[in-house]
């Protein structure tokens, strides 16, 4: 359901072959991953940007499709979007069958070049630093995937995102304590600016305590090149992520009952940890329908 389109996979493999990544990519990607883990966000050359696209794009695309599907299920939509820190264009690909008008902001020249290779030359991509960006139009939605965690002045960036959007702000981050911290910072800024969490939250603040953090997971199949790049033995990848969608108008977010951990399935019943308007609750269900509910679903 959340697999990259075949033509994009083919284009990625062509780029990887051109730059020798199908033969020597594992080491290049390992070095790239180490830099990201150490928050050493340096400018990439083109071959590194291709390695990033081959190694990370299947997961980022899958997460974006997951979040867009959850949003669509609310009955809401948007007609134009600004993709902040667009990278190699995963959101563009996820929206390509829709009628949404798309603009992107990506500072890295190498990332923009890979973006063009995968998406063509029709997209409007701004190259300036987000802090200096001056919008030429208004946007119904502003989208930031795996971006907030990589910049120094998070508060300034978050405030600007809310300022640029008329209706919705989407923020996706790695499913780590650090990524979750960025989500909490976004919720704090949103509350100050009178924006409301549409999903997955059931409260304005977060009721998790201690060292726990809210995140979700999707499982994605690996292509043989993807597995080789990551030196992976398993034919699939589990991508952990955090996300929050904000709405300018007050919403019924308090009606959400989001399953925030993997359900514990027993014989005759299923145990759910659920984010509710009354806080985090453990719920036991015995009906057959509950057996089909997954981590991230509404109870």
pLDDT digits (tens, 9 = 90+) for 189-218: 999 999 999 999 998 889 898 889 999 999
Q: Taking a C-beta distance cutoff of 8 angstroms, is the pair 238, 175 a contact? A: no
d(CA 10, CA 93): 14
Q: What are phi and psi of 182, to 5 degrees?
A: -65, -35
* pTM for this entry: 0.91
Instruction: State the pLDDT at residue 250.
Output: 80
* Chain Cα centroid distance, residue 170: 8
Chosen CATH of 6-253 out of 3.90.190.20, 3.20.20.70, 1.25.40.10, 3.40.50.150: 3.40.50.150
Cα–Cα nearest to 294, from 233, 212, 218: 218
Confidence at 220, pLDDT banded by 50, 70, 90? confident
Instruction: State the pLDDT at residue 163.
Output: 95
Alpha helices by DSSP H, the chain: 6-18, 21-37, 46-72, 90-94, 109-119, 154-164, 177-192, 224-229
Would you say residue 150 has pLDDT above 90?
A: no
3-state SS assignment for residue 281: strand
**Domain extents in the chain:** 6-253, 257-299
d(CA 225, CA 172): 26
Cα–Cα nearest to 195, from 172, 173, 148, 163: 163
Those residues whose C-beta lies under 8 Å from the C-beta of residue 169, and which sit 6 or more positions away, are 141, 142, 143, 144, 161, 162, 186, 190, 195, 245, 246
Each residue of 93-144: pLDDT tens digit? 999 999 999 999 999 999 999 999 999 878 899 998 888 898 888 899 999 9
Q: Annotate 55-78 with b (16+ C-beta within 10 A) or e (fewer).
A: bbbbbbbbbbbbbbebbeeeeeeb
CA distance between the termini of the chain: 22
3-state SS assignment for residue 223: coil
Q: What are phi and psi of 195, to 5 degrees?
A: -105, 160
Q: In DSSP terms, which residues pair with 125 in a beta bridge?
A: 104
d(CA 71, CA 33): 30
């Amino acid at each position: 359901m959340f697999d990259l389109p075949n033509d994009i996979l083919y284009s990625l493999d062509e780029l990887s072959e051109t730059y020798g990544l199908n033969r020597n990519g594992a080491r290049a990607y390992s070095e790239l991953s180490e830099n990201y883990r150490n928050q050493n966000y340096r400018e990439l050359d083109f071959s590194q940007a291709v390695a990033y696209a081959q190694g990370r794009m299947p997961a980022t695309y899958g997460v974006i499709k997951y979040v867009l599907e959850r949003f669509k299920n609310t009955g809401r939509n948007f007609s134009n979007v600004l993709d902040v820190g667009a990278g190699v264009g995963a959101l563009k690909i996820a929206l390509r069958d829709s009628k949404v008008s798309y603009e992107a902001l990506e500072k890295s020249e190498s990332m923009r070049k890979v973006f063009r290779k995968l998406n063509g030359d029709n997209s409007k991509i701004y190259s300036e630093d987000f802090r200096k960006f001056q919008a030429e139009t208004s946007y119904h939605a502003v989208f930031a995937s795996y971006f907030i965690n990589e910049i120094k002045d998070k508060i300034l960036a978050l405030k600007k995102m809310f300022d640029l959007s008329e209706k919705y702000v989407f923020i996706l981050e790695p499913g780590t304590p650090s990524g979750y911290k960025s989500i909490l910072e976004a919720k704090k800024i949103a509350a100050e600016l009178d924006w409301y969490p549409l999903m997955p939250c059931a409260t304005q603040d977060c009721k998790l305590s201690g060292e726990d953090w809210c995140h979700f997971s999707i499982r994605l199949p690996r292509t043989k090149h993807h597995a080789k790049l990551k030196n992976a033995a398993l034919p699939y990848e589990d991508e952990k992520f955090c996300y929050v969608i904000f709405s300018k108008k007050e919403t019924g977010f308090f009606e959400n009952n989001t399953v925030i951990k993997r359900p514990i399935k027993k014989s005759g019943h299923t145990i759910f940890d659920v984010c509710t308007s009354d806080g985090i609750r453990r719920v036991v269900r015995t009906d057959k329908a509950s057996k089909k509910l997954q981590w991230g679903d509404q109870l």
